[in-house]
Amino acid sequence: MKKPYLIIPAALLILSAVSVFNVQAQDYRSQRETMVRTQIRARGINHGPTIKAMRNVERHLFVPAVRRNRAYEDNPLPIGHGQTISQPFIVAYMTQLVNPGAGDKVLEIGTGSGYQAAILAEIVDEVYTIEIIAELGESAQKLLKELNYDNLEVKIGDGYYGWKEHAPFDAIVVTAAAEYIPPPLVEQLKDGGKMVIPVGSPFMVQNLMLVEKKGERITTRSIMPVTFVPFTRKE
């Protein structure tokens, strides 16, 4: 026969572990609500689907465990391999700029933690994302699968060439700073499609550019100064 004086403390232990977990989940939820209110809406983001996605995606799961308590701060955070997860506002801003909608197909260059890809996958039909650092791409892929994003594919490789098999795209989001706009990405944009890309020298202030394709015409507009990690190339 089992001894009740052992079962009761064990049950209490499990109950308190569950409630600590709940308190923590609640706490992250309220931090996320505050982030959306003070960093996203207060700064003029008004695209409904973007706001909803920023509210839904659990950003703390995309940062290394030791930085989880800082996940909802108003800044980028290191994710290893010298790379960063972008500041929440920048993620929302870039998302809103390409005006994604249900039914769209989007390409992201620079998977990193997978956070921007998850935000896009909440909004559109299909997301394709490319990461050049295998370890980052693989861990993002694992996490995104665990979170049941089955409308999303991760590829390890040099995003310079885009992803021809799935082109053309309604939108392309580049999250690393390139010296110039890669021509294959412009080619893989749909007629009427939009691309957002930071352009400029690495480790300096770059320009966030909005590229739009209308028939044969390509227009580029400089939106605001930003600082991103460099767009690197495979040797």
- β-pairing verdict for 77-80 and 83-85: antiparallel
Q: Which residues of 133-166 are buried (b: 16+ CB within 10 A; e: fewer)?
A: beebbebbbebbeebebeebbbeeebbbbbbeeb
Q: Which of 106, 121, 124, 133 binds ligand SAH (CB under 6 A)?
A: 133
How far is the C-alpha of 109 from the C-alpha of 117, rounded, in Å?
9
| Contact flag: residue 229 with ligand SAH (CB under 6 A) | yes
Per rule CB under 6 A, count of chain residues that contact ligand SAH: 24
The verdict on 139 binding ligand SAH (CB under 6 A) reads no
Q: Which tokens go with 54? A: 């920023």
> Is 128 near ligand SAH (CB under 6 A)?
no
Q: Measured from the CB of residue 29, what is the shortest distance to ligand SAH in angstroms?
A: 20
Contact call for residue 131 and ligand SAH (CB under 6 A): yes
DSSP three-state, residue 122: helix
Residue 130 near ligand SAH by CB under 6 A:
yes
Sheet holding 206-214, edge to edge: 152-156, 126-131, 105-109, 169-174, 189-199, 206-214, 217-226
72 touches ligand SAH by CB under 6 A: no
Least separation in angstroms between CB 195 and ligand SAH: 14
Position 88 contacts ligand SAH (CB under 6 A): no
Q: Is the separation of the CB atoms in 63 and 76 below 8 Å?
A: no
86 catalytically annotated: yes
| Residue among 171, 189, 180 nearest 207 (CA) | 180
* Binding segment (CB under 6 A) for ligand SAH, from list 7-15, 80-88, 141-149, 183-191: 80-88
CB nearest ligand SAH: which residue? 112
Q: Of the residues 16, 19, 86, 113, which is catalytic?
A: 86
107: helix, coil or strand? strand
Rule CB under 6 A: choose which of 54, 85, 92, 98 binds ligand SAH: 85
Rg value, the chain, Cα: 20
Q: Would you give the binding string for ligand SAH spanning residues 154-173, x where CB under 6 A is met? A: ----xxx-------------
The structure tokens listed for 47 are 């695209």
Minimum CB distance to ligand SAH, residue 196 (Å): 12
Q: Which residues bind ligand SAH (CB under 6 A)?
A: 83-86, 109-110, 112-113, 115-116, 130-133, 136, 158-160, 175-176, 229, 231-233
Where in the sequence numbering do the catalytic residues fall?
Answer: 86
